Amino acid sequence: MAENGFCKDFLWGAASAAHQIEGAYLEDGKGMGIWDTFGQKTGYIIRNENGNVACDHYHRYREDVAIMKELGLKSYRFSVSWPRVMPDGYGTVNEKGLRFYIDLVNELTEAGIEPMVTLFHWNLPTAIYELGGWENPQIVDWFAQYTDVVTLALGGKVKYWMTFNEPQLFIGAGLNAGVFAPFEKKSTEALMRISKNVYLAHGKAVRVIRKNCRDSIVGMAPTGEIVIPRDLKAESIERARTLTFSMKKENFTSSITWWSDPVFMGAFPKEAEGLFGEHVPSFTDDEWKIVTEPLDFYGFNIYQGLEDLDPAEKYGPYAYPGSPKTSMDWNVTPEVLYWSCRFLYERYGKPIMITENGMSCFDWVSLDGKVHDPNRIDFLHRYLRSIKDAVSEGIPVLGYQYWSIMDNFEWINGYDKRFGLVYVDYRTQKRTIKDSAYWYRDVIASNGGNL
């Protein structure tokens, strides 16, 4: 079993998403996605930047995989661009687009790196958006069709699959809060219809993956707010757990339970009926079977935890005057990884995969030509120790995918935020491996022994 707490085949990796790194936004027959479409308009993204070129990974993937190999990564989580593979979202397949992913997977396999594929990381084909997007029930079959195409092409070599990246963001931020593409604020009734389509699209896609890929290992990559107990007293832990798994009316689409309870437990969160009454989606028995198609792991993207403060308390252990912050202005809360693994494992009963975690810093290339990022090293050290605490207690954690392999297009924040292990100079596309990446290489080589 565990060596240093970490299992011997622990997947030390890094992650990315198609729209954030690929560029080549109109090349080789790719269609437009909603982030492409809004990226051409003014007023949505800082300085009107866009992902048209991004890290030019579409052309430089060989160089990028070589860097991953040099770092000794065991796994690489990336997403397939739906509009690159199916420009209209359904129907015609763009063979050149599909070829790119076949080549990428071959390159990874040859480098000894386990590919982990996310089918949907937010760049919905604009053609489908124009037909109603997530609100159109036909999206369930369109997504299944797209999944069929991708899994038939990659299934022989890819074992790890995730259907969606963060419904909390592409529905919560995109269609409830209106701060991410397509920047809309839908009514509660519409959000219920949309949610129903998301659950069913997920479940049908799982069935397609199982059909096409032998030995598949399937999950989803949601996110959510984990509340860190204020101390280790049983009642404090219980309180944090209750807060973590609660849901509020105004932002229910950002909660953990709204998306995970139906999928993993076959029921809506307990508050749902009281908050939404008859509007809560209804499923037939057959539909429930689709929604609850068994998964192999609980993937989780997590960057910071919440403090459990009394109303009168102004500051807590993580946020106080001058406390550590990332360049996203996020609090540094290492223990959130321990509590994520523990709370999510206890509730959903599946092994955990940290599918994203990382830090944006104000990095630049120093006079010596290197990128020194001591804060990221310290961040990683603290957060990885927190996973070590979880695995040492016997909580099954399959892997850790650092976000991100390289600096990239950070959605509405454009190119300002640098999360990468590898620095990208967007003027020249020159890659520079940061100090933290070399540090991570040593962690991987010792399977966490040096943490």
Give the residue numbers annotated as catalytic, written as ranges: 166, 356
Per-residue DSSP letters for 216-273? Answer: -EEEEE-B-PPEEPSSSSHHHHHHHHHHHT---STTGGGSHHHHHIIIIISS--TTHH
Distances (CA, A) of 291 to 178, 188, 197, 203, 328: 26, 21, 10, 5, 35
String of contacts with ligand BG6 for each residue 100-139, x by CB under 6 A: ----------------------------------------
The region of 202-210, 367-375, 377-385, 403-411 touching ligand BG6 under the rule CB under 6 A is 403-411
Residue from 169, 181, 200, 290 that binds ligand BG6 (CB under 6 A)?
169
Going by C-alpha positions, the residue among 182, 209, 225 that lies closest to residue 116 is: 209
Q: Does 407 sit near ligand BG6 (CB under 6 A)?
A: no
Q: Does 166 bind ligand BG6 (CB under 6 A)?
A: yes
CB of 399 to ligand BG6, least distance (A): 16
How far is Cα 276 from Cα 167, in angstroms, rounded to an integer?
A: 19
Site size for ligand BG6 (CB under 6 A): 11
CB of 137 to ligand BG6, least distance (A): 26
In the complex, the smallest distance separating the C-beta of residue 169 from ligand BG6, rounded to whole angstroms, is 5
Binding residues for ligand BG6 restricted to 196-225, rule: CB under 6 A: 223
Q: Binding ligand BG6 by CB under 6 A: which of 403, 423, 439, 440?
A: 403
- Taking CB under 6 A as the binding criterion, the range among 4-12, 129-137, 163-171, 319-327 that sits at the site for ligand BG6 is 163-171
Place of tokens 């397509």: 182
Among residues 64, 356, 363, 373, the one that binds ligand BG6 under rule CB under 6 A:
356
For the CB of residue 359, give the shortest distance to ligand BG6 in the complex, in Å. 10
Smallest CA-to-CA distance from 120 within 221, 208, 22, 27 is with 221
Phi, psi of 298 (to 5 degrees): -105, 105
What distance in Å separates the CA atoms of residue 266 and residue 263, rounded to the nearest whole number? 6
Instruction: Write the interaction track for ligand BG6 spanning residues 408-427; mark x where CB under 6 A is met and - where it is not.
Output: --xx----------------
Asked whether the beta carbons of 151 and 165 are under 8 A apart, the reply is no
Residue reference for tokens 């009107």: 48
Place of tokens 């830090």: 359
Determine the interface stretch with ligand BG6 among 137-145, 147-155, 162-170, 385-393 (rule: CB under 6 A): 162-170
Rounded distance between C-alpha atoms, residue 344 and residue 331, angstroms? 21
Asked whether position 165 contacts ligand BG6 by CB under 6 A, the answer is: yes
SS3 192: helix
| Residue placing its CB nearer to ligand BG6 in the complex, 411 or 423 | 411
Q: Which stretch binds ligand BG6 (CB under 6 A): 90-98, 130-138, 161-169, 207-215?
A: 161-169
Cross-strand bridge partners of residue 322? none
Which member of 7, 11, 14, 17 binds ligand BG6 (CB under 6 A)? 17
